[in-house]
Amino acid sequence: MYSASKCNIGSAKKLVREKTTLSNNSDSERKDPLHVYCRIRPVREGSEPTNCIKLLSSDTLTLTGNCSKILRKEIQYKFKHIFTAFSTQAEIFSHIAYPLLEDLLNGKNGLLFTYGVTGSGKTHTLTGEQNDPGIMPRCIDAIFNSIGDYQAPKCVIKSDRMNGFEIQTEDDAFQDRLNAVRHNQKQKTPRKGSDKVSYVNDGIKIQNVNENNIYAVFVSYVEIYNNSVFDLLDESSGRTLQNKILREDCYKNMYVNGVVEVEVKSAQEAFEAFNAGQNRKRVAATSLNSDSSRSHSIFNIRVVQLEQTAINSNGQPMIPTENHIKIGQLSLVDLAGSERTSRTNNTGMRLKEASSINNSLMSLRTCLEILRENQINKANRLVPYRDSRLTFLFKHYFEGDGTVKMIVCINPSIEDFEENMQVLKFAEMSQDVKITKAEIKFTPIKKTISRNKENRTPAKAKATPSFTLLPELRVVKLNIENLEECNTAIDKIVKVIKLRQQKSKPLEKENDLRQAEVRKRLVDFNQDYILSKAEMKSLKTVINKEKQKSRNLQLKMSDLETMNQDMRCKNEELEGIILALKNTINEKNLKINQNILEKEKTKQKIALANEKMTQELDLKLRRQREHLNAALKAKDQKLRIVKEIIDSEMPPVVLSSEASEPELNAKSQEAQMCQTPNGTSGVQNHRRNATPATRTRRSRSAGEVWLEHNVVKPCPLGTVMQPSMKKRKSVSKLDKASDITNPKQNRYCLVAQEPDTDGEMETRLYKGDIVPTCGGGAQVIFNDVEKLRQESPTKD
């Protein structure tokens, strides 16, 4: 049995995989740029139709948007090809993945990975749906559509789980198949997640398939989670996945040590293996994507080819004694989406996962940038592949061990403007990286060996004659009856034995030298083993320390998360209090504003009332002046008439003090009318005809009519002096305006009773005149206060 990755001690030769060699020619013809494609996701249903992507041609687009402060003008980005929202999965497969499948069946390697923000359609591009499969199902269907009739028997080619393969005899392959059947029979429950999943097969075949070779297809599925590598098809560890180590084989190719590579003989078996790994893949719901990948997943398809030179009697291909082996690998990588914490609001484990994803993507970007600078400036800077498991695993691809292609997925929503700008910048930079073309070199295989100790020749192989350096001992029959012949035969045997002894001495010396060399090798191997064991022990100690640190950090992280949760709850409570206080302040401000408005309105009303009262007072004063002027004129007229009467010796005319101005005017006019031109005849006639009038005086109290207003019912004090109002009208409330405007009333008295400062009861009478106003109403002018009280003469 031969391995393609490790050296076996002994004389048997290895079955070696083809080695990719780099040419010394540095011309640009020997290098291919990294092919970058772009796929635009359709706008989500129910969202705004506005987007930030403007397509100019099949390979050029611009990023536009008014919401950015950084981008002030439109910038164009060019790609190998741009797939719009109307492009189908079949178009993407035929344009990107089909050339990689042609290289795969020719023994070349290929790497295809999707890049973009969360929710941009990366997983859909690679996987798709059952009715509309993506790149991965179409690749598997195309491979088995092409090599379905040229497959090697199962278990003839076996993975050594160290990036190599072993060629087994038919007996060993049969034994492995038998063990697999027994293992499946012992397993009562089927493999977790191995439900049958079928995709639509469009029947695409790969042209120029070498029909003289036999093929075997192997698949593996790993993920990089928090910068650790896990095998999604490894069921030996149970539910908890074990961290795997990355190693480098003798050809400087990176691989996952101990990874499970499943040999599949149909597309359905490959889909079942993929579905089993998919159920173990770490996904979680975020605010941007309900089914967001929390790790980078790598699905590897390896096709092993052997030259077929013979067919056994059963029509099955047999392993030839001399052959070539070619191994082609296609890695389909679904990178986790870059995330911004400000948009996803991740906390706890989701925040740690997002940080690890962003760090690995940043390492990928840094490696490509340094490769680009080295190629442009012809520098020799060290590319930091070891900073991340993602870049370390694909180091050999970027150094010329296959074709690298990238699909940039973009969500055209205006909300993803900033993220799209960073993705497009990375894609533009990646196109300047050039990868050296690989050449194929084959290694011939001369022998195979079997695991069966009893059978050292390969099954169904041609028999080869035995070969030795010593003389051959022939079988001799001794005839006892003929002693001479017996002696002759014995002599010949003795001569042959002596000759063999002579010739065996150098062989023994050579054997001793070889034994010494083997012992030396064993000693060297033992020393290496001891050193490796000590190194492993020290590494285990370091790992245990790191695990302890990790546990401590996890405990601290949990404590900090608890504190953060408490602080968040307190913050929410304080925000609620602040909001309530703000509402209270707003209400008070509203009331203050309302009070200010009411005060302003009151001030305006008071100003209007004052202005109106001022006008009324001015009008009243003007009328009073006119009344007084008219009274003065009337008095002057009276005095003039009296003087004239006295001068003319006429009997006196009785003038009442209550006479009104119209009467005086009328009398003065009559007196003037009685005058003659000489001024004496009219007065004399009046004197003759007039009768003497008696002069009377009207009492003031006789004309006073009081309006007595009793606010409260006063208590009798028993004093001698009591209010005396002969004509009065008593009321307790002024309900009507007519109570004051009654023309018969001319005096007003307000009766109030209250205790003084010494506690003695006192009755007060507030007196005033009722004066009519110009508007037909009346007003009270207070002019006197009368106090009635009763005191004890012995209180002091």
Binding site: which residues? 116-123
DSSP 8-state class, residue 680: S
Question: Token pair 């087994």 is at which residue?
Answer: 168
Q: Where are the alpha helices (DSSP H) in 148-220?
A: 170-186
- Spatial separation of the C-alpha atoms in residues 507 and 689, rounded to whole Å: 200
Binding site for ATP: which residues? 116-123
DSSP 8-state class, residue 382: P
- Spatial separation of the C-alpha atoms in residues 79 and 408, rounded to whole Å: 10
Distances (CA, A) of 360 to 71, 335, 336: 26, 10, 10
Beta carbons of 118 and 354 less than 8 angstroms apart: no
- Spatial separation of the C-alpha atoms in residues 566 and 443, rounded to whole Å: 66
E-assigned strands of 275-365? 283-284, 292-293, 296-307, 325-334
Beta bridge partners of 439: 21
Q: Retrieve residue 243's tokens.
A: 């961290």
Beta carbons of 306 and 168 less than 8 angstroms apart: no
> In whole angstroms, what separates CA 83 from the centre of its chain?
26
Q: Retrieve residue 617's tokens.
A: 């007072």
- Spatial separation of the C-alpha atoms in residues 769 and 238, rounded to whole Å: 114
- The 3 state secondary structure assigned to 269-298 is HHHHHHHHHHHHCCEECCCCCCCEECCEEE
Beta carbons of 260 and 161 less than 8 angstroms apart: yes
Q: Retrieve residue 51's tokens.
A: 């987007």
Q: Retrieve residue 68's tokens.
A: 């950015």
Q: Retrieve residue 763's tokens.
A: 């009755």
User: What SS3 state is found at 351?
Assistant: helix
User: What SS3 state is found at 683?
Assistant: helix
Burial class (CB in 10 A: 0-12, 13-18, 19+), 175: middle
